[in-house]
A and B are shown apart, each in its own frame.
Chain A
Amino acid sequence: MRLKATFALLGEIVALLGLTLIAPMLVAIHNGTPIKPFLIPLILSTGLGLAMRSLDRNPEIGMKEAFLLVSLAWLFVAIIGALPYMISGRSSLANPINALFESMSGFTTTGATVLDNFNEPSQAILFWRQLTQWLGGMGIVVLAIAILPRLSIGGAELMSLEAPGPQLQKLTPHIRQTARIFWGIYVGLTLLETGILTLLHYLGLAPRMTPYMALVHSFTTMSTGGFSPLALSIEAFSPAVQWVVIVFMILAGANFALFWYLLRGDFRIARNEEFRWYVAILLVLSLILVPMLMRQYGFSFPTAFRQALFQVASIVTTTGYATMNFALWSLPAQFVLFFAMFIGGSSGSTAGSIKVVRWVVAIKAVFRELFQSFHGRSVKPIKLGGRIVDERSVRGVLAFIVLYFVVFLVSSVLVVLNGTTTGKPIPLADAMSAVAATLGNIGPGVGSIGPMANYLIFPTGTKILMFFLMWLGRLEIVTALVLFTRSYWKW
């Protein structure tokens, strides 16, 4: 285990993150609010980062260290990101556990919040909260690979550990170029959304969507994060804004590699099996919800469809925005959303949860089992988009889904137990939706942690558990979980 090299590279990432604190600091300077909450962590993290960097002048790491590096990077980033909340000392975020929760929720693009009063923190703090999601969306490590030359050695392994989905699709011979393309598309789409929303504002179609609001909401749409500086989330904005956000949420939940091909005039997006399933799932779930919403709220079809598609897209892409309080929906409608929490966006997107491609492979594998139960001697490879998926990958997908549900069930029980022992009983359904919402990096759940509520109802122990669930979910469990096996630390 080359610990020195690992920490040297970790130092680079920490220092890089420190520099991003300059952005909220500029907001604070502009508004005349205290800059201390940003300046102290900035000095601390760049100093610490540069000190760690000097541990090894020529760091080289292998696959094994890559797991440690990526997992630790996300822990360190969350801790540094929590410092501004703690130092600013205002609102419920001043509590260290709450600050850590909020920071992890931000970077992992979960969007679960422990902020109760949105008027208390300064604008700069709320800006930082939005920015954490944007930085975490495409990935800190991917950003580091795109910028820092030392990380491009062995960068493909690092990137595959952080990137959502079972496999990393390299687009160019050099991993650095691929990382830059991913970040480039990400920045491009964010700017495009900001532009369109600002345009709507000046056309008079979105009175509250100022250019600033357009930018910070684009941050959290493209990252499928879901934080909003407004307590009402997207409900605060007009239907025109909501439609724009729907489109960009769906784009953010699709595989970014497909956009790259599209830019090069290659229309494989239309033939891509995962993308087709992804769109089909969004439409089918929305159409199931439409009659339910029309009956419960007396909506017209267009309104019901918009509301249904918005919430479905928000949950499936694991964004976590809301245009209405779906915690008040009828139970069957809420259950549809609960079900959607386990689907997740596409591989190579910024979305969390299980991912469409894994479900497609898993369901094909299950059907193959059925087929082979009466055709015992048959051979039937699993295909995805006409290509054979090798058996190791199939096993990996099935193991991931099992692992996901094991973590989900065990954590749900722990949440209920912790609630009972601390005298704040949590209903099982709420506990399960909260765990699904944090593990899947979604944010709001159903029941008492709906989109307009917050996670302050949970005791400290549960919040710490969820801090780790969000971390596990962002790293797709395996990357982080291997660190807790004994054999990882042995030779």
Chain B
Amino acid sequence: MKIVVVGAGRTGRRVVEHLSKNHDVIVVDKDPETIEELQDLDVLTVEGDGSIPDTLEEAEVAEADYLIATTNDDTVNIIVCSLAKMIGDPFTIARVKRMEYLRLWGRGRKALGVNLMVSSIPLVAKSIANVIGFSGLRVLRDLYGPLFVGDAVDVPEGVWSVEVAGRRVVVGTLEELERAYSPTKHSRVLILGASEMGVLLGEMLLHKGCDVKIVERDKAKAEKAASVLEDATLVVGNPLSTTLWKEEELDEADVAVAAFDSDEETLMGGMLSIDRGIERTFAIVHDGGLIRLFEGAGLIAVSPEVVTADRIVLATRGRKVLGLVAAIPGVRVLAIEVDESLEGREPSELPGILGPVLRKGEVILPTAVFHLQKGDIVTLILEEERAGELVL
């Protein structure tokens, strides 16, 4: 397939890395240095402003199957999609940061010439809100239908699990997982930083019935957040100050989330939180390349960049792939619909490990002599490195 990617920042680059092996990718960026850094990837590059029609025509948008706009500017991304729709007829994907656009787009899905609008903020907030009460899991994401995928610290009996890339991956329905892990309903959650991500997460957690306390250095930001989150406690002060931690009894939280806008501050805040005895501390890592560093510090890293890139890659996967979870570092979990080409295959003939299967709405656990039937929805667990080359 022909795919044009406009904007090769961190998210754009991640998307390109995934797609370049199997597709013809043309990347547009206006920064010559960014273009230079793409030289190690097998793609065609066009230096220029993607919001100018000429640049898009040079990038052969007229013949493209997909157009992915991932610049840092929401308005540019939307304009690029609209222009692309006038030049050709690609499936357009726009990444946006501001929730207002996402809400507007949600009202009429075809608005603005954008076929799919992706924003990292709700994706990340939701993924943390999902798992917050499960002390035995680092990650919990919905894959497809009733099936959920988790990254387990420990695996209780009665849960399907497999070890891939040093991670214990569990797959099951939400009821199964809740029965096995018995999550706490009303956690006390401390959020460090009233960033957009932090505020939205706070909103979701309050909704779930959690107690939320947010610490923010900037008074104006804190006030704005307080007006949105009436039931949360907004503390203004230095989140890294130990006196503040004592005064506000922050260390009594069950779970903490470091959600600053800068990764440096997030790492400091997260490490402080662990040091103060909050073992279960999440960290929002903007630079996906630093995930290992954060994990090394004992934090549960969630990267908006990775989550966004995977949502975009999933959209280009075509009809066969119904769901994708990539929030577990080093691991990919896919939900795939079995068609003629996969029918009758045995588990050993698949390009990954076969997990629970959905057959006619029921969950079946696979055995060694399992035969795939048309219409089955199978879960496939594989190492991240191999996912880019996955051919189905």
Contacts and interface: CB of A to CB of B under 8 A. Distances in A.
Interface string B32-46: 100000011011110
B257 interface: no
B39 A173 contact: no
Nearest to B41: A156
A152 B42 contact: yes
Contacts of B20: 173
Given A173-B24, A173-B25, A156 B32 contact: no
A175 B45 CA distance: 12
A180 interface: no
A172 B63 CA distance: 13
Contacts of A174: 24, 42
Contacts of A171: 44
Contacts of B32: 390
A173 B43 contact: yes
Interface string B133-162: 000000000000000000000000000000
Interface in B31-71: 32, 39-40, 42-45
Given A173-B25, A173-B26, A174-B24, A155 B42 contact: yes
A152 B21 CA distance: 11
A172 B39 contact: no
A430 to B, nearest CB: 43
A173 B44 contact: yes
Contacts of B26: 173
Contacts of A155: 42
- Dominant SS at the B interface? mixed
Contacts of B23: 173
A464 B45 CA distance: 42
Nearest to B44: A173
Contacts of A172: 24, 44
Interface string A40-67: 0000000000000000000000100000
Contacts of B42: 152-153, 155-156, 173-176
Interface string B3-29: 000000000000000001001111000
Interface string A157-174: 100000000000011111
A154 interface: yes
Contacts, number: 27
Interface in A52-107: 62
In this complex, the member of B20, B23, B40 whose beta carbon has the largest number of chain A beta carbons within 10 angstroms is B40
B86 to A, nearest CB: 22
B211 to A, nearest CB: 50
Interface residues of B, number: 12
Interface string A292-317: 00000000000000000000000000
A157 B38 CA distance: 11
B6 to A, nearest CB: 15
In this complex, the member of B39, B42, B43 whose beta carbon has the largest number of chain A beta carbons within 10 angstroms is B42
Interface in A134-158: 152-157
Interface residues on A, range: 10 to 19
Nearest to A170: B44
Contacts of A154: 40
A399 to B, nearest CB: 19
Contacts of B45: 170
A330 B45 CA distance: 51
Contacts of A170: 44-45
Contacts of B24: 172-174
A240 B148 CA distance: 77
A133 B25 CA distance: 34
Nearest to A156: B39
Nearest to A160: B39
Contacts of A390: 32
Contacts of A153: 42
Interface string B68-94: 000000000000000000000000000
A154 B40 CA distance: 6
B85 to A, nearest CB: 22
A143 B165 CA distance: 37
B39 A157 contact: yes
Contacts of B25: 173
A266 B32 CA distance: 26
Contacts of B39: 156-157
A154 B41 CA distance: 7
Nearest to B20: A173
A260 to B, nearest CB: 13
In this complex, the member of A152, A155, A174 whose beta carbon has the largest number of chain B beta carbons within 10 angstroms is A174
B49 to A, nearest CB: 15
A171 B45 CA distance: 10
A171 B40 CA distance: 16
Interface in A361-415: 390
Nearest to B19: A173
A153 B40 CA distance: 8
A414 to B, nearest CB: 37
Nearest to B2: A173
A267 B356 CA distance: 57
Contacts of A175: 42
Contacts of B40: 62, 154, 157
B200 to A, nearest CB: 37
Interface of A: 62, 152-157, 170-176, 390
- A-B pairs, top 3 by smallest CB distance, nearest first, are A173-B24, A173-B44, A173-B43
11 contacts: A62-B40, A152-B42, A154-B40, A155-B42, A156-B39, A157-B39, A157-B40, A173-B26, A173-B42, A174-B42, A176-B42
Given A153-B42, A176-B42, 6 more contacts: A157-B39, A157-B40, A171-B44, A172-B24, A173-B42, A390-B32
